[in-house]
Amino acid sequence: MSTGAASTLDRIRHHLVGLKMPRALEVLEHLLRQLERGEISALEAIDALLDAELSLREGRRVKTALKMSRLLDIKTLAGFDFSFQPSLDRNRILTLAQLDFIDRHEVVHFLGQPGCGKTHLAIALGVEAVKAGRSVYFTTLADLVSSLSKAEREGSLRERIRFLCRPQLLVVDEIGYLPVIAGGGNLFFQLVNARYERGAMILTSNRGFSEWSEVFGDTVVATALLDRLLHHAVVVRIEGASYRLRRHADLIPDPFTARPAVQPAAAAPRRRGRPPKHRPTEVAANP
């Protein structure tokens, strides 16, 4: 290499350091050797140099965004075993992964028994949203209500709700797994009402909608929540068994491995013989 070429190369290295392009600096020598051997053109070398740096920066952006979104246990759609859940429409999930529901401010509900893949799918869609440059926030219902309750005690509930309204996608996991603290349903409703038709949500629950009054301990609050959460909604029911228990299915009773999210009402047993005589309906007296 001539003295002039070496000087130019030193300046390029200096510029890459000044521009904070470490990946480009790292691949520079390799690209120059390819260029000298005629394996690539000058334009291809520049393109490869910039692509390497952009890939590094994009990886850093995604990593930081995932951390800010609280998506620490990364799950992907590629890692989901659709063959284990034949009741699940794979194309429907891939359509959701296009993220149009975020633009429409819709609510996606994943319903099913523990271990059927609700949280995996919710996180995977959150990861897809982060990669696409959307803002995301992940939390469990218990943590969410706890934070809202703390903010209410400290007089900062409005600010906390405003913070939770900023993400384009809010993922709330584990609705129905743990009892909601007193007043928690009302706090959750205030957040849902604030995000209604303004931001998308993904909710996961092991309880059917008819059980939400039990989950939140208040029929009125549950009805008001469902009124908003089902207005613009996509409901995905997963009827399969637990993926985590698949290797020990023979040790688990059937009701735990393949019980539907919403239990059908049991049919009353048929009586045999003569029908009983009519008796007046008993009404429990108020204590």
Tokens 């959307």: give the residue. Answer: 134
CB 211: neighbour CB atoms within 10 A? 16
* Tens digit of each residue's pLDDT (9 = 90 or more) over 47-62: 999 999 999 999 999 9
Q: Considering Cα of 171, then 177, then 180, then 185, what sign does the dihedral take?
A: positive
Q: Shortest CA distance to 132 belongs to which of 85, 97, 101, 180? A: 97
Phi, psi of 143 (to 5 degrees): -65, -40
Give all strands (DSSP E) within the chain, no chain letters. 107-112, 136-140, 169-175, 200-205, 233-238
Q: What is the phi-psi region of residue 242: left when phi exceeds 0, alpha when psi lies from -120 to 50, beta otherwise?
A: beta
CB atoms within 10 A of CB 1: 10
Whether residue 68 is predicted with pLDDT greater than 50 in this model: the reply is yes
Q: Are 172 and 202 in contact (CB under 8 A)?
A: yes
Q: How far apart are CA 235 and CA 42, in angstroms?
A: 52
pLDDT of residue 286: 37
pLDDT computed for residue 253 by the predictor: 58
Residues 6 or more apart in contact with residue 24 via CB below 8 angstroms: 16, 49, 50, 52, 53
Query: For the segment 226-247, what is each residue's pLDDT rounded down to a tens digit?
Result: 999 999 999 999 986 666 555 5
Residue 9 DSSP SS3: helix
Looking at residue 6, its pLDDT comes to 84
- Domains of the chain (ranges plus CATH)? 3-68 (no CATH), 82-257 (3.40.50.300)
Residue 243: the pLDDT is 65
The confidence score (pLDDT) of residue 260 equals: 46
Tell me which residue has tokens 């613009």.
232
How many angstroms separate the CA atoms of 219 and 210, rounded?
10
Q: Are 220 and 189 in contact, with CB atoms under 8 Å apart?
A: no
Number of residues assigned to the chain: 287
Does residue 170 carry a pLDDT above 80? yes
**pLDDT per position as a tens digit, 29-50:** 999 999 999 999 999 999 999 9
Q: Is the pLDDT of residue 151 over 50?
A: yes
For 91-140, the pLDDT digits (tens) are 999 999 999 999 999 999 999 999 899 999 999 999 999 999 999 999 99
Residue 239 neighbours by CB under 8 Å, 6+ apart: 87, 112, 116, 258, 260, 261
In percent, the amount of the chain with pLDDT more than 70 equals: 83
- Angstrom CA distances, 146 to 5, 78, 152, 185, stand at 64, 33, 10, 11
